[in-house]
Structure 1
Amino acid sequence: MDDDAVRDTERGGAGAEGLDAAVLGGFLAVLDRLGARERVAYLLHDVFGLSPGETARVMGGSPDGAARCARRARERLRGGGPGRDGGDPGARRALVEAFLAAARARDAVALAALLAPDAVAYSERGPVHGAPAVAAAAAGLAGPGVLLRPALVEGAVGAVAHVDGRPVAAVSFGFRRDRIVGLEITTGRDGLRALGPVFPEG
């Protein structure tokens, strides 16, 4: 390798190191927006992929509390939470209706077409990444005897799954343009009660 090539390689390496440092600095600055418990919940649940139960064992408290803490952290980092970036509510309701219809049909291909490629689903089992995996998880929401109803979940467009008239899971959606980019899946009586879903009339 000649001297010019060596110098180019060294400059490229130095540039990459500078970029890595800048990205790390930005990530740490973002984490500084969070409270201590939110930061721990976000790192354990979202970054390292621990379930809410495992996160709760580290943090103390209940799995529902750990999941809510991680959810609040995501909302603060995103600037207000899923679905609150000023998009057209009517278009989002139509997108959710199409998503629910595909979920009822257990059609993972149709579900994936409504998702951003980098979509993420968060549940008590930890995060699931990528449109195909999220679509497969969503298809599982509408098993036999499950009724999916549109609802407002913590003020965001979402849905609630019922079995024998009893709510068993709630889903809120995050959006990017004309695709769903995030799902928050909450189960358990305490978790659902804390969300306080609101159902449209009719």
Structure 2
Amino acid sequence: MDDKWLAERFEADRPRLQAVACRLLGSANEADDAVQEAWLRLSRSDTRDVKNLSGWLTTVVARVCLDMLRSRRSRREVPLSPDDESIPDAADPEREAMLAESVGQAMLEVLQRLAPAERVAFVLHDVFGVSFEEIAGIVGRSPVAARQLASRGRRRVKAASEDRRAPDVARHREIVEAFFQASRAGDFQALLAVLDPDVALRADEAALRMGVRTGWLTSELRGATAVARHFAGRAEAAQLALVDGVPGVVWAPGGTPRVVFGFTIRNGRVVEIELAADTERLNRLKIEILP
């Protein structure tokens, strides 16, 4: 394939690859290394027979991350907390702090306690909607075993999340309602008021495919201005809901949930909005639509 075309395709996939690597490794700097390694492997590989280059790149990044996690575990090392003053790469503390906010420091701490294969299976499937057949090839297990790995990781994450869940659910709902109402009304300034300046909008593969078909979502977005523009006037068909007891928003045409909007809130502002449309994932959620 033409080198220029490959480079353009890689740059188009870079935001997603970076997001995958950040979630898997919990370190923005290590994620950069993993994505760069994926580029090197792409530039050295014959990809003429690759039908899904985006999927191929995701697999490569995930394998690189899995190797890094196993190496880290064998040395009994974990990435430094973004709040740790001893971070050696002092030039980039803001990027590490941004990662902590977008993923959630509590979630990073929970993920670090998972075995590497559990972490990869859980993150790839539950966050990015990668199939268990694809995950099986990455972790070197059968699809059934990959499903079990993700299930174990999910149980541990859920238990830790329940322990850490903020008691002020009413405040969380108030912020989600303010976002929802501003989106419906197309009130750009009101949306900016509830969004963190570095808010991230992410979607699993099912939601991304749905958005690409309708022209509603094309890529990961970051920044209050971009996210506010994206949502202004777009929530007419959505409904407030409790998702596993946490206030969120759901699009449920005919009463069947098709897309769930999860909100991560820090210091009274939305720092992440995650769109989930994967059918298996939605079926595991307890969704209660609110008046």
Tell me the TM-score normalized by structure 2.
Answer: 0.44
2:271 to 178, 181, 188: 181
Once the 2 structures are TM-superposed, how far is the Cα of residue 93 of structure 1 from its aligned partner?
1.6
Counterpart among 16, 19, 33 of residue 113 in structure 2: 33
Distance 1:29 1:177 in 2: 19
Matched, 1:162 2:244: no
Runs of 4+ in 1 over 6 A off after TM superposition: 27-30, 42-45
1:117 to 190, 197, 222: 197
Cα distance change on mapping 1:137 and 1:189 into 2, 3 Å: farther
Query: In the alignment, is residue 98 of structure 1 matched against residue 175 of structure 2?
Result: no
Q: Aligned match of 1:135 in 206, 224, 228?
A: 228
Aligned CA distance change for structure 1 residues 152 and 113 (closer, same or farther; 3 Å): same
1:128 partner letter? L
Match of 1:85 among 136, 144, 166: 166
How high is the sequence identity, in percent, across the aligned residues? 34
CA pair 191-44 structure 1, distance change in 2 beyond 3 A: closer
1:52 aligns with 2:133: no
Counterpart Cα distance in 1 of 2:170 and 2:110: 32
Amino acid at match of 2:265: F
User: Is 1:20 aligned to 2:50, yes or no?
Assistant: no
Q: Deviations over 1:153-173 (max 9, x none)?
A: 122111211224432211121
Contact 2:124 2:130 in 1 (8 A): no
Task: Give deviations 1:115-161, integer Å, cap 9, x for gaps.
Answer: 1122222311575332233334444852xxx5222111122111211
Contact 1:116 1:180 in 2 (8 A): yes
C-alpha change, 1:154 and 1:38, in structure 2 (3 Å) is farther
**CA contact under 8 A between 1:153 and 1:198: conserved in structure 2?**
yes
What CA deviation, in whole Å up to 9, does each residue of 1:2-41 have, x standing for no partner?
xxxxxxxxxxxxxxx97239x89xx998753123244325
Indicate if the aligned counterparts of 1:172 and 1:184 stay in contact, CA closer than 8 A.
Answer: yes
- The question of 1:198 aligning with 2:288 is answered yes
Q: Which is richer in helix?
A: 2
CA distance in 1, matches of 2:111, 2:281: 25
Residues 30 and 96 of structure 1: is their aligned pair in 2 closer, same or farther, counting only changes over 3 Å? closer
Rg: which structure is higher?
Answer: 1
The structure-2 alpha-carbon separation of the partners of 1:168 and 1:31, relative to structure 1 and needing over 3 Å to count, comes to closer
Once residues 72 and 36 of structure 1 are traced to their aligned partners in structure 2, the CA distance between those partners, rounded to angstroms, is: 13
Change (3 A) 1:84 1:132: farther
| Matched residue SS, 2:226 | helix
Structure 2 residue matching 1:190: 3-state secondary structure: helix
Distance 1:38 1:134, change over 3 A: farther
Give the length in aligned residue pairs: 168
Q: Match for residue 12 of structure 1?
A: none
8 Å CA contact 2:204–2:278 kept in 1: the answer is no
Is the Cα contact below 8 Å between 1:119 and 1:182 reproduced in 2? Answer: yes
Distance 1:92 1:160 in 2: 16
Is the alpha carbon distance of 1:170 and 1:85 closer, same or farther for their aligned partners in structure 2, counting shifts above 3 Å? same
User: More strand by proportion, 1 or 2?
Assistant: 1
- 1:114 Cα deviation after fit: 0.8
C-alpha contact 1:95 1:114 (8 A) present in aligned 2 = yes
Structure number with higher relative contact order (C-alpha < 8 Å, ≥ 6 residues apart): 1
Superposed CA offset, 1:58-98 (max 9, x none): 5556xxx8xx88x959x94xx627x9233x32222221111
